[in-house]
Amino acid sequence: MGSLRGAFRQLLWAFCRRRPSPVLYRELGHPRPPRASPADTNHRQRRRRNSGHRRGPRRVVLGAVRKLPHSPRARGPGHPLHRVRAQAGRVGARGRTPGRTRSAEGRVRGEAAPARERSDRRHGCPAQGASHRAQWICAGTPANFRGSRRIVTHAGTTEGLPSFSHGVHPEEHKGATESLPIERMPFVSHYVLPLAQHIGRPSKCIVRPGQHVQRGERIADPNGFVSTALHAPVTGTVEAVELRPHPNGKLAESIVIAIDAFASQEMQEPQKPEGGAGGPNGSSRIDGFVRRVQEAGIVGLGGAAFPSHVKLQVPEGKKVTTVVLNGCECEPYLTCDHRVMLEDADKVVRGMRLIMQQLGAAHGYIGVERNKSDAIETLRAALSQNDSQNDSQKGSIEIIALQVKYPQGAEKMLIDAVLHERVPAGGLPLDLEIVVHNVATASAIADMVENDTPLIERVITVTGDGVRRPANVVVPLGTPIAAVLEHCGGLKPEARQVILGGPMMGVAQKELDVPVVKGTSGILALTQPQRVVGEQPCIRCGRCLDACPMFLNPARLAQLVRNERAEGLLSHHVMSCFECASCSFVCPSHIPLVHLIRVGKAMARKVAVP
Ligand code: SF4
Ligand code: SF4
């Protein structure tokens, strides 16, 4: 009996050593549990840190979640990261980052550091450049460049490369088209050109029914600064100016052109724009260049269709030091930007140079996801060729390989990934002296300057298991999607859904006579609708929080929408949501979060602007 009691006591002692409990200690006749020594406490903390433990339920989003330790300053001078930073001349005696005028990089006193370098300093990156930072993270060094933010890693080949926080890893589905060269779509009989093809005010129609127009001729003028021109994609006759179905699901005023079957389809002779030739050379012709981009109808070709000239006009009192080109193409299925980077790499680099020259930016970065390694190599080769041909060019351009993650192509996420800088909520990249363009937009700008070509066609990806012959196609704007699908062999009988754009942010179409517009990056035909499981109640798993790249609470937002609490939506920053659908993608209850949030944004707009 005595030995049994002894064994029980020993067991209790062992338990108490792990978890000191005053109740157990009292039972054992001790006044209070012994205090843990500082060494033990530190060790436990270290273990907690290294094991990735954190308070609350553990949430893993499509990969390992690591909680990295706090800043090197908090770790003190003994911390390895602190030592390396000190060697790099980036920390003071007490771990503080030295002021701007104490330049260890040999920069002139008072001169602003480039955005990437500034950010590296802030986050404690021991050396400039993504590769160094990647090595540190790969090596498991306790280097937290982002304070207490968790870093979501993907158990794939891209782990360790730079990226943004949160996000998801949808299946890529790019294999069907990523190796197919861009082909040209033959002309069809009719083209429908909505006047609203960009963000901002719709263009102003300047043609009337019965008028003959030539390919490349302007048919609509910009209607204000945030608006662009529109050009005839073919030589033909204006048949009507009327309401036609738009890819956004509404009816929109559109110009219908019937092709002239006997015309040669030569481009119209370029007209000299008002305000000079408009080369971006830092002279008084800069305004001419911006106007020229506007009159060429160039918009962001990544999908948002924001007028590009607006981003090329630096407002009074602002400046741009860094240009970032988006070559991520993070949407599953789409490969049009990938093909542009492969087939027009030199044009992308020339377009980048023109944009940098126009904005006076000294630093340029092209962010490309690692799953497009051939594009990274091609761009690097084009860049070195461009540099060797033009020794006098100002500004440096770097190609940055990024992790494969969605929605990395979004402006703010790309800046976070490439430059490790956060655009403040409600702010613009311009607030950080950064401007972001798409690789296809840069190529279009180079085309405009070198060949006087307005935006009358674009590359799109036609793909999905519901289409017979997936392809990357150059399509004249205004071509009905039914004609494009027909060019690609037509739809399979089992096709159930056609989406314009990618599966995450694209818009499902109810009819196939809507046209390809400037923002159309792909036509996706699926054999089954994306959602086949019914909606279930929220189980409070928190996956949507972990996925949201804007650090919103999608579950709470959805609840507020259902309760029609518009003020609550505003206080929960519903307007910061850019509808990437990452939250809907990860929700195990299949709650249509992004759709609810879209409704919530409309409700919040009504309250904000009564
Ligand atoms: S759709 Fe909005 S709320 Fe949902 S993950 Fe994207 S940004 Fe966050
Ligand atoms: S909305 Fe979905 S993902 Fe978000 S907490 Fe609820 S069940 Fe989880």
- What pLDDT does residue 145 have? 24
CB 444 within 8 A of CB 452: no
Ligand 2 atom 7, closest CA: 538
- What pLDDT does residue 324 have? 96
- Name 500's bridge partners: 507, 523
CA 175 and chain centroid, separation: 21
CB 245 within 8 A of CB 500: no
Q: Is 535 in the pocket of ligand 2 (CB under 6 A)?
A: no
- What pLDDT does residue 121 have? 40
CA pair distance 43, 55, nearest whole angstrom = 18
Ligand 2 atom 8, closest CA: 541
Domain-by-domain residue ranges, the chain? 2-35, 68-100+112-149, 182-270+457-526, 543-608
The preferred substitution site among 582, 584, 587 for testing ligand 1, maximizing ligand atoms within 8 Å of CB, is: 582
Which has the closest alpha carbon to 500: 309, 333, 383, 363? 333
The one-letter amino acid code at 590 reads: H
Ligand 1 atom 7, closest CA: 577
- What pLDDT does residue 47 have? 36
Mean pLDDT, 10 residues at a time, the chain of 610 residues: 62 48 41 43 41 35 36 39 34 33 39 48 33 25 26 47 90 92 95 94 94 95 93 95 93 95 80 50 59 93 89 90 94 95 95 93 94 94 86 81 93 93 88 94 94 93 95 96 95 92 91 93 84 81 95 95 92 93 94 94 81
- What pLDDT does residue 316 have? 86
CA pair distance 132, 125, nearest whole angstrom = 8
- What pLDDT does residue 532 have? 58
The ligand that comes nearest to the alpha carbon of residue 168 is 1
The preferred substitution site among 62, 583, 585 for testing ligand 1, maximizing ligand atoms within 8 Å of CB, is: 583
The preferred substitution site among 59, 168, 536, 543 for testing ligand 2, maximizing ligand atoms within 8 Å of CB, is: 543
Q: Is 500 in the pocket of ligand 2 (CB under 6 A)?
A: no
* Sign (positive or negative) of CA dihedral 305, 309, 310, 312: positive
Which has the closest alpha carbon to 583: 554, 542, 550? 554
Q: Is 109 in the pocket of ligand 2 (CB under 6 A)?
A: no
- What pLDDT does residue 1 have? 52
- What pLDDT does residue 395 have? 77
Task: Tell me how far the alpha carbon of residue 570 lies from the centroid of ligand 1, in angstroms.
Answer: 15
Q: Is 246 in the pocket of ligand 2 (CB under 6 A)?
A: no
CA pair distance 222, 310, nearest whole angstrom = 12
Ligand 1, pocket residues at CB < 6 Å: 547-548, 550, 552, 554, 577-583, 593-594, 597
Task: Tell me how far the alpha carbon of residue 166 lies from the centroid of ligand 1, in angstroms.
Answer: 11
List alpha helices for 390-438, DSSP H. 411-419
Task: Tell me how far the alpha carbon of residue 589 lies from the centroid of ligand 2, in angstroms.
Answer: 7
Q: Compute the residue count for the chain.
A: 610
Ligand 1 atom 8, closest CA: 548
The preferred substitution site among 579, 584, 591, 596 for testing ligand 1, maximizing ligand atoms within 8 Å of CB, is: 579
